Amino acid sequence: MCALTCLNPIAIALNLLLLVIAPLSGVHHPTIHDIITTQDIIAGDVFFEITEPAVLEYTYRLRPAKDFGVSFVSQRFTGIGLVLTQPSDACSKIRNYRELRGNVALIKRGDCSFLTKTINAEIAGAKAAIMTEFDDDSAEFEYYIEMVHDNTSREAHIPAGFLLGKNGVIIRSTLMSLRRPHAIINIPVNLTFVPPAQINHPPWLGW
C-alpha cells in the first residue's frame, strides 16, 4: 500500500543525484558552459538589445504572448524606437501615437487585458508591444507573467512579449532621467550561436 508513495521521495532524490553526477563523471569533464547550452536558456523566449542610450546597452529577454498576436521571428527590426506609451497602461487610446507609429510600444501591465493593450498599440501604429511592470513594489516584479488571450472575439496582428519588471523599471527610469523620448533597439536578436557566457545580459539580473 505504502510502497509506491513512500519510495517516491527517495526515487526523486536519487534521480536528482544522478542528474548532477552523470554529467560530471563524463570523460571530458565538461564545464558548466558545455552542459547548459544557449538553446536551454532560450527555451522559446525572444531577445532584443538596446543600442541607445549606452547605459542600457544590454540584451533583454521577452516571454512571448502565449496565444495572441503574431510571432516575433516573422519580422526583424533594426534601430527601431522603444517608446513609453501615454497612458502608460495603454488601456485607452494612445495619446503619443505620433512618437509610437512605426516603433515598439513599452507598456505597463495591469488595469485591462494584455490583448487590449496590444490592440491599442497596434491601432496607434506600433510594430510590436512589450509589457512590463513599472512598480518595484509589485509582487510580480521579479516574475514573468504568462500573457494569454482574454477570450473576446478580437485578435492582434503585431507581436507581444513580457519583459521582467526589474528591467522595465530600470529602462523607464533611465529614459525619464535622461529625458529621452525613446530607446533604440534591435528586435529580435538571434542568440542561437552565442555561447551563454557571451550573452550581454543586464548586470542587475541573474537570469
Ligand X SMILES: *[C@@H]1O[C@H](CO)[C@@H](O)[C@H](O)[C@H]1NC(C)=O
Binding site for ligand X (CB under 6 A): 73, 148, 150-151, 188, 190, 192
Residue 189, classified by CB atoms within 10 Å of its CB into exposed (0-12), middle (13-18) or buried (19+), is middle
The residue among 8 and 198 lying less far from ligand X, judged by its C-beta, is: 198
The residue among 150 and 155 lying less far from ligand X, judged by its C-beta, is: 150
The residue among 5 and 151 lying less far from ligand X, judged by its C-beta, is: 151
How near is the Cβ of 132 to ligand X at its closest, in Å?
19
Amino acid at site 84: L
Q: For residues 60 and 163, what is the distance between their CA atoms, to the nearest angstrom?
A: 8
How near is the Cβ of 177 to ligand X at its closest, in Å?
32
Answer whether the bond into residue 159 is a cis peptide, omega within 30°.
Answer: no
Distances (CA, A) of 36 to 20, 32, 199: 13, 6, 13
Contact 51, 184 (CB under 8 A): yes
The residue among 161 and 165 lying less far from ligand X, judged by its C-beta, is: 161
Grid look-up 521521495 returns: 9
How near is the Cβ of 22 to ligand X at its closest, in Å?
28
- 111-120 burial string, b = 16+ CB within 10 Å, else e? eebbbbbbbb
The residue among 169 and 185 lying less far from ligand X, judged by its C-beta, is: 185
Q: How many CA atoms does the CB half-sphere of 56 hold within 13 Å?
A: 27
The residue among 58 and 68 lying less far from ligand X, judged by its C-beta, is: 68
Helix (H, G, I), strand (E, B) or coil at 15: helix
Helix (H, G, I), strand (E, B) or coil at 153: coil
